[in-house]
Chain A
Amino acid sequence: RKEVEQDPGPFNVPEGATVAFNCTYSNSASQSFFWYRQDCRKEPKLLMSVYSSGNEDGRFTAQLNRASQYISLLIRDSKLSDSATYLCVVSNPNTGNQFYFGTGTSLTVIP
């Protein structure tokens, strides 16, 4: 079973739409959760960490559901510049010093 699973999409949404991505993780002992953004042929860049109580950064809201072992990312008022692949990343202190990446969810915002 994969450590982290995401719906690869693609998600094609019009400008201004709200879009949500989910990600599930297999190890209940996982402690840290992140969303990264990756543009085509570029490096992953940290979008936001995900905290237990949920957190918001402008148009982006991240939530964690430990009972169901998933995290989500909500993007409101989508912009053309939001088009990218969004990577779910999880780390587990019991399995060492690596971060586990999902395959990414592709988002295209259409004018």
Chain B
Amino acid sequence: EPEVTQTPSHQVTQMGQEVILRCVPISNHLYFYWYRQILGQKVEFLVSFYNNEISEKSEIFDDQFSVERPDGSNFTLKIRSTKLEDSAMYFCASSEAGARTGNTIYFGEGSWLTVV
């Protein structure tokens, strides 16, 4: 069964450092997403990406964050100058079509980010 893959599964970084989280969406999917979940809290939307550009972003996704599709398979989330409150599980997800069309999304196993 096709799946979304993410690396690293866990990363510990010092406050102020930059982090890049990587994702390989399901190959025939066109929409990509990043969500995050702070421990014990709800899953929060960060950004959606379609046709090589950001489709939508939340208020969480400020200038500290950026996304990129550097090649035909990878989708990355960069977090600059990390803060303690960035510690969370970051989920990459993809869907064949967008939320507007009612498609379901499929999640990767997540990347745990711990900022110390």
Contact = CB atoms under 8 A, between A and B. Distances in A.
Interface of A: 31-32, 34, 38, 41-46, 49, 87, 91-93, 96-104
B42 A102 contact: yes
B31 A43 contact: no
Contact of B102 (A32, A42, A46): A32
B77 interface: no
A41 B102 contact: no
Given A34-B104, A44-B43, A102-B42, A97 B56 contact: yes
A98 B99 contact: yes
Interface stretch (B68-76, B79-87, B106-114): B106-114
3 closest A-B pairs by CB: A32-B102, A91-B99, A93-B100
B99 A96 contact: yes
B89 interface: yes
Given A97-B55, A98-B58, A98-B99, A43 B45 contact: no
A97 B42 contact: no
Contacts of B101: 93
Contact of A46 (B42, B43, B89, B106): B106
Given A43-B91, A49-B104, A99 B99 contact: yes
Nearest to B103: A32
Given A32-B102, A44-B91, A104-B42, A97 B108 contact: no
